[in-house]
């Protein structure tokens, strides 16, 4: 029963409905209230669940989209793919999850682009690319963890820009754009791996200084 739901559960329940309404009413109290009415949630409780307003609503919707993305491309399907295909499939699945609400996405991004929301926008973007890399099987914990996510964040942001105005059949233009950008990521990762292997046993300033201070007997 709805009265037994936690605030987190209410946010998850209402997020898709709010997004559907946001295309016409913006990320507003009106969009939230209509979603609450449709779900049988008290409007005051819904307001409490999204106490920080539009940014909270967008946060909940993006989290819901991430869940839909992972459900669309389950682990057993990903395991049969190469890393490049995994990244592409996950990004495409996430975009597809927003396809029916592109105007809502456009409005959400406009809100997140406001100066006071840039930090939150960065966190939401990072959450998504981290989810994608983890689902793709990445277990890096060193600087590779950050470089992979930083690069993918840029690729994803650019791809969304294309996606929002893509009227091609099956979003073919977006898919082609994404494919080219992922090729770039893979080339970078290959080049980086080669560089690290070449320098692995090369000159190390820290080892050199250490030997000056503590000569080998």
Q: Same structural domain for residues 150 and 119?
A: yes
Q: Is the pLDDT of residue 189 over 80?
A: no
Is 173 contained in some domain?
yes
Is 216 contained in some domain?
no
Is 217 contained in some domain?
no
Banded pLDDT at 173 (limits 50, 70, 90): very high
Q: Same structural domain for residues 78 and 147?
A: yes
Q: Is the pLDDT of residue 194 over 90?
A: no
CA 76 to chain centre: 21
Q: Same structural domain for residues 35 and 69?
A: no
Q: Same structural domain for residues 76 and 172?
A: yes
Longest Cα pair distance anywhere in the chain, in angstroms?
79
Could you give the C-alpha distances from 182 to 71, 143, 192, in angstroms and in order?
A: 22, 20, 15
Q: Is the pLDDT of residue 183 over 50?
A: yes
Cβ atoms of 34 and 25 closer than 8 Å: yes
Residue 37 CB neighbours (<10 A): 13
Q: Same structural domain for residues 65 and 47?
A: no
Q: Same structural domain for residues 68 and 121?
A: yes
Cα–Cα nearest to 10, from 217, 44, 70: 44
Task: Write the CATH number for 133.
Answer: 1.10.357.10
Q: Same structural domain for residues 148 and 46?
A: no
Q: What is the pLDDT of residue 202?
A: 53
Q: Same structural domain for residues 79 and 172?
A: yes
Q: Same structural domain for residues 4 and 22?
A: yes
> What does the angle CA 163 – CA 179 – CA 135 come to, to the nearest 5 degrees?
90
Residues 152-174, mean pLDDT to the nearest whole number: 96
> pLDDT by residue (tens digit) across 144-153?
889 999 999 9
Helix runs in the chain, H state only: 7-25, 29-39, 43-49, 54-72, 75-78, 83-97, 102-112, 118-135, 143-164, 172-199, 205-213
Q: Same structural domain for residues 30 and 104?
A: no
The pair of structure tokens assigned to 212 is 């000056």
Q: Same structural domain for residues 109 and 24?
A: no
Instruction: Please state, rounded to an integer, the average pLDDT across all residues of the chain.
Output: 89
DSSP-derived 3-state class of residue 201:
coil
> pLDDT by residue (tens digit) across 84-128?
999 999 999 999 999 999 999 999 999 999 999 999 999 999 999
Q: How many structural domains comprise the chain?
A: 2
Domain extent at residue 81? 61-199
Cβ atoms of 13 and 57 closer than 8 Å: no
Q: Same structural domain for residues 121 and 36?
A: no
């Amino acid at each position: 029963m709805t009265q037994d739901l936690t605030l987190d559960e209410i946010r998850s329940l209402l997020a898709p409905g709010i997004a559907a309404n946001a295309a016409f009413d913006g990320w507003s109290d009106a969009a939230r209230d209509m979603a609450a009415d449709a779900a049988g949630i008290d409007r005051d409780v819904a307001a409490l669940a999204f106490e920080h307003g539009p940014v909270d609503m967008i946060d909940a919707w993006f989290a819901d989209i991430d869940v839909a993305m992972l459900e669309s491309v389950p682990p057993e399907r990903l395991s049969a793919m190469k890393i490049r295909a995994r990244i592409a499939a996950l990004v495409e699945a996430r975009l597809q999850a927003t396809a029916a609400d592109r105007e809502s996405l456009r409005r959400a991004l406009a809100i997140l682009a406001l100066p006071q929301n840039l930090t939150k926008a960065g966190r939401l973007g990072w959450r998504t690319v981290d989810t994608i890399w983890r689902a793709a099987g990445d277990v890096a914990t060193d600087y590779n963890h950050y470089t992979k996510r930083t690069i993918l964040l840029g690729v994803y942001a650019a791809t969304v820009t294309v996606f929002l105005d893509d009227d091609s059949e099956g979003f073919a233009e977006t898919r082609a754009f994404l494919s080219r950008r992922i090729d770039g990521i893979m080339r970078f990762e290959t080049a980086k791996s080669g560089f690290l292997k070449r320098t692995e046993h090369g000159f190390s300033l820290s080892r050199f200084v250490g030997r000056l201070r503590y000569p080998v007997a």
